[in-house]
Amino acid sequence: MKNVIAILLCVLAVSCRMHSVSSELEETLSQAGSNRGELFRVLAHYEEEEDSLKLRAAQFLLENMAWKAYTTGRVVEEYFAFMDSVFRTGHKSEEELPLIYGQYERQARYLKEKPVIALDARTLTADYLIRNIDEAFAVWHRPWNRHLSFDEFCEWILPYRVSGEVPEEWRTLYRERFEPLLQSDTIRTARQACTVINNELMKYSICIPERSVLPVTLPSRLLMNIKFGLCGDYANLAVFAMRSAGIPVGIETVPYWGRGNGRHTFNVVYDNDSTFHDFSGAEQNPDEHLIRFRHEMPKVYRRTFGKQPSSLAMQRGTEDVPDFFKNPCLEDVTGNYPFIEARDITVPVGRHSDRKFAYLCVYHPEEWIPVAWGRRQGDSVRFQNVCPNIVYHPALYADGKLQLTGHPFLLDTLGHVNVLAPQASTRTCTIGTVYKDAPKLIKLLPSFLGGKIQGANRPDFSDAVTYYTFTENPTFKYTIVHCGKTKPCKYLRYLSSDRGTGNMADLEFYAEGSDVPLKGKVTGQYKPSPTYSGFGAEAMFDDNPLTFFHTADTLSWGGLELEKPVSVSRIRFIIRSENNGIRKGNEYELFYMDRDKWVSLGRKIATEDDGLEYRGVPKNALFRWIDRTKDISKRIFIIENNKETWY
C-alpha cells in the first residue's frame, strides 16, 4: 500500500510541475501499465535535482520509448546461454557454423515455450534509466563530442539501447574496457577516436553466417566475447564500445541489396566538422566500407532513437504502408554519400488508385521488396536520391499487399529510366549461367596464373610433362583442354601457382577415345587448410563442383596415381565457383516480366553444360531462371548481344 501511495504522490508531483504532458509521453505512459510510476520517478528525480538538461534528456527518452521492445522468455535465455558458452571456447570458422547451429536446434527442439515480446515502457526501472542518463552525461564534452548540440547528444550518446536487444547495464562494462585506449592527447576528433576503438575491435574474430537460429538481437554482455554473428551484431558491438566513451556513432541500414539477396547493417560516425563517415564495426575504419557497395545499395537509412518527422510513418496518416516504413525512427541518409551517385527520378504509376504514396521495389527471389517511397502527384511520383545501376519496379500498397504497377526499369548512372517492357519482336538466345559468381571469388582469378596441370612417371614429378598452364584468368565455366598426343603417365596433378591455394573444384583426365574420367588413388603434397578442413585433394575428384581443393600453402598440388601409365588426350576442369552454370541433365524454366507478372517461356532439360538455347525470347525484357531440378530461383538479368547482365 505504501508503494502505491508513493507512486501516486510522485505522479501528482511531476504532473503539477509539468504544465502539460506531451502526446508522445502520453503514448508511452499508456503502454506502461503498472510501470507508470517508475517512469514518472525518473522525471521527479531530475526535477528535485533542478537539472534542466538531464530532465530534458529524460523527457526525450520517455517520449520516444513507445513501442520499443525486446524479445525474452526461457527459449531466448537458453539460446543466449548456449551462444555465450560457444563464444567463450575460441575462434570459429565459417564451416563450423552450421554444426554449431545444428547442435543448438537439436538441444532446443523440446522447448515448447515461445519467445515473449516485452515493452520497454512496461519493464524498465527508474534506477536503470537514471544511471543511463547520468553515465551518458559523464562522457559528454570530450574533445571528440564537444561539437554536439543537446539534441545531437540525445541521438548519438544518450540512448540506453541500440536496436532490439534486451536492455542491460552496458555503459560501465564497455567504458572500462575501451576508454583507456583514448588517453592520448593526439585524439581530438570523433573520427580519430572511432578509428582507435575500431582497431581494437578488429582483434575480435569476424565470421558472418548466412543465418541466425533465432531472430533475436544478441545482448551487450554476449557481444563482448563475440566470435561470429550477423553484420548487425558487429554494428551493435561498435555502438556499445564507442558510445560508452562518448564517441558519436550510430547505425545505418540498406533495407535490401539492389543487385544481390539480403540486407546490410553498418555504422556511421558523426565527426567534429559535422560530416558523416561510414565504417564497419570490427572490420573496416571510417570511409573504407560502403565504397565497395556503391552500385548495389538502392537506399541508405539511419536508425535513430527519436521519431523522425520526415519518415513515412510520421506522414502517412491513416494510409497503410509496408512494414519497413512503419518505423518512425528512420531517416533517409542516402544523400550523405556522394559516391553512390544517387539520382532524383520521376516515375509514372497510373491514376487508378486512391493511394497517396508509391514505392520503388528491388528484386528478391519470388518477390519484390519496397526500399524507397514517394508522394504521388497525379499519375507520377518523384523519388529522391535513388541509387543507379539497379533494376526497380514501381508499386502501390493496399490491403497489406504490394501492387506492382507499370514495367520494371533500369536506372543508369546518368539518371535515365530505361523501361524494360517486352517487345513483340523475339530472338533465339543461348544462355550459359543461372547467376553471376560472387566478387570474393572473382578476386581469386589472378592467383591461378602460373598454375599447371601435369603428368609424370615419377611420384615427385621430376620428369613432369605440362598439359596446361594458366596464362590468363580462368572462367567459372567448365574448361576443356585438348592435349593431342602425349606420352603415357602414371601420375597426374594440378599444381598451384606461387600465389594460389588450390581452389580447383573438379578435375577430369580422359584417355583417348574414352568418355569416362580416369580413376586412381588420390595423392598430393600440401598443407591442409584450417578454414576448409575437409577440402583436400579428394574434392577435385568427387564430381561435385561445389567442393574444392583448398590449401594453407602455395605451390601445393593434388592429383591421381593411376594403376598404370595412360596417354591423356583430354582434360576437363572447373575452378572454385558457386556452380551457377547451366548443368547437363538439369531442368530449367525461363521467365520474363510483363508488367506485374512473370511469363514462362517453357521448361527445358540441358543437354550440355554451360549452354541452353531458347527461341521466341522477347527483346528489351527482364528475365529470371528457376532450376527445377534443384528448386532454386536466383537473380534477375537482361540479355544484350546474347550475353546476360545480372542484377
CA distance 65 to 133: 14
CA distance 66 to 71: 16
Residue 512's closest CA among 492, 488, 491? Answer: 488
Which string of b and e fits 213-246 if b means at least 16 CB within 10 Å?
Answer: bbebbbbbbbbbebbbbbbbbbbbbbbbbbbbbb
Is the separation of the CB atoms in 196 and 181 below 8 Å? yes
pLDDT at 16: 44
CA distance 9 to 193: 45
CA distance 56 to 43: 9
pLDDT reading at 603 higher than 70? yes
At residue 51's C-alpha, the angle toward residues 50 and 53, to 5°, is: 145
43, 45, 51, 57: CA torsion to nearest 10: -40
Residues forming a β-bridge with 523: 559
CA distance 302 to 313: 14
Helix (H) or strand (E) holding 118: strand 116-119
Instruction: Convert the pLDDT of each residue in 227-282 to its tens digit.
Output: 888 899 999 999 999 999 999 999 999 999 999 999 999 999 999 999 999 999 99
CA distance 572 to 508: 5
Is the separation of the CB atoms in 75 and 111 below 8 Å? yes
Instruction: Convert the pLDDT of each residue in 102-135 to its tens digit.
Output: 777 777 776 678 889 999 999 999 999 999 999 9
Instruction: Convert the pLDDT of each residue in 293-349 to its tens digit.
Output: 998 999 999 999 999 999 999 999 999 999 999 999 999 999 999 999 999 999 999
pLDDT at 51: 84
Higher-confidence position of 225 and 615 = 615
Dihedrals φ, ψ of 217, to 5°? -85, 130
pLDDT at 12: 46
Is the separation of the CB atoms in 473 and 448 below 8 Å? yes
Any idea what DSSP says for residue 492?
Answer: E
Average pLDDT of 199-219? 82
Mean pLDDT of the chain: 93
At residue 227's C-alpha, the angle toward residues 223 and 230, to 5°, is: 70
Is the separation of the CB atoms in 604 and 623 below 8 Å? no
Instruction: Convert the pLDDT of each residue in 446-493 to its tens digit.
Output: 999 999 999 999 999 999 999 999 999 999 999 999 999 999 999 999
**Domains detected in the chain:** 334-419 (2.60.40), 426-436+581-646 (2.60.40), 439-575 (no CATH)
385: left (phi over 0), alpha (psi -120 to 50) or beta: left
pLDDT reading at 86 higher than 80? yes
Number of H helices, E strands in the chain: 15, 31
Average pLDDT of 4-12? 47
Instruction: Convert the pLDDT of each residue in 483-513 to its tens digit.
Output: 999 999 999 999 999 999 999 999 999 999 9
Any idea what DSSP says for residue 66?
Answer: T
Is the separation of the CB atoms in 606 and 588 below 8 Å? yes
Largest Cα separation within the chain, whole Å, is 100
Strands (E), 477-533: 479-482, 489-495, 502-511, 521-525
Please count the CA atoms within 13 angstroms of the CA of 583 that sit on its side-chain side: 16
Q: Which amino acid is at 501?
A: T
Instruction: Convert the pLDDT of each residue in 170-198 to its tens digit.
Output: 999 999 999 999 999 999 999 999 999 99
